[in-house]
Structure 1
């Protein structure tokens, strides 16, 4: 028996939802692609800075949704992979390796190996124990970076310049950097969409709904969950590489448990178990942060109230509202 035979009606519903989610994402990508033109017309260069931040955290939120929304794995250490990506840029830069492609490859490999080891241990636990063990591993990396005095320790490390691409300093231009980040976001979305629509994704969703039932029909959840965990960590590391280049600074704060909590909020706010949702959730989170912070240093109180109202209004978050607007359902 294969996962395709478990619930045909449910899968048919998911295909419709995939199409609606894809259309919603296409609308968001088109709107993002037009932002440099809007920034040029208005003369507001800060618009690109905020938009790049939104897209970078959208990549991280998408990676988390692979294991949280589709695998029911609540990781409170996911920000560690952002930090691994960021520090890969800083450390390689200090040793004269400035190429973005090399830095990205190293970040993905290191993050993937870390996820493989920690995931193999953590996935042998369940529920709150999994949450706590991911938190513990994340804090281990956090305190490791604090101990790196050569890279500023707790104060962080300023990069001398953005990375080069094949020897050319193309990322020095904010508009070029913007489109590079957008391209990575689109590629991440397409990869996640392909994975979730595949046999692998159907088994992963099956383990989310009932691991015991999947075992009963011959599918062991562990290798599928571990693979998803490694992929999610590698994608989050790419977000870290881009974040380091965007702000030209790395800090242990990138991988704190608070940052992991913010990523979970982005996914929940946008809608767990969706693909367009984490992008919308990251956008809402970052924009609300910018807007509310202008009024008070205690902006998180106001944000908490907005998050509460959003959850009460729609259990699927912003992504659920968007998908209902385009005629979809939850599982996209």
Structure 2
């Protein structure tokens, strides 16, 4: 959803017709929806219980419900975690996956049509911010939240970050020697990097934060010069970027998520990563809608993602937000992208990114 301003009035005007059509056509993983309940009521009741009673109650009631529906954007991790949750508790997880913007639009659309299929949401920061502004999310206030890094809680506090996407630079180890790696972005002006560099097409948030920290005018001029002298190719998709580096088609990428080159490196691929400061990061997380059909199963999955799920993220070379997990994001000096600013300033950030890098002439 990067580069898209999801304005409430626009969305309501454009989506209300599809909301009504969706309700009639039975859009969603469940064609016949059970009567939804208010999340806040259930949350208030269980949070008033002693910790042990709270857990016992949630588990018992969740097993009675037997299922939950999760809308998500994370194609690599969420299916694995959902399977682990089902194995642990015997509760089926119905998954529906799409892009961040589509997930957010669907929740808004269904709410306009009084349809409440989703019990839990997985999305990136801007996607969650869009749902928060539509007042569709319910703060859970789990006692487990005390173990999370401060950055896990956005200003609205109606969703929580479960992992952090950390931007790194990566290179093909067969084509570039570690000793030759650039230490600053200024080093990329060296002619030896001509035809060697690439970025992901929608990483305007990374560029905006990098520019802000290093000086906007100076950084814009620097990257204009890099593009003019050495060129920067543009690719769509961070996984594609990583695979192209492994193949050697693009020897160095400037905007990869740190987990992917690390995963590939451990599999023996000729790729490694390094960091040119500042190191930019963005949060991804989960949320519970205000109205759901399976509130206890949703609460159980929420707590699962703050505990078992955190270790699973770490095992998959990602950066969890739980401070009790080794390798958590709080141990790193990161510059976080504010999801609210990403929404409000995203159009301007995209314009700069396209003008200077991705669509430079």
Instruction: Tell me which interval the TM-score lies in, with the shorter structure as reference length.
Output: under 0.3
Normalising by the residue count of structure 2, what TM-score does the alignment of the two structures yield?
Answer: 0.24
Looking at both structures, which has the greater relative contact order when contacts are Cα pairs under 8 Å and sequence separation is at least 6?
A: 1
Normalising by the residue count of structure 1, what TM-score does the alignment of the two structures yield?
Answer: 0.26
Higher helix share: 1
Higher strand share: 2
- Which structure has the larger Rg over C-alpha atoms? 2
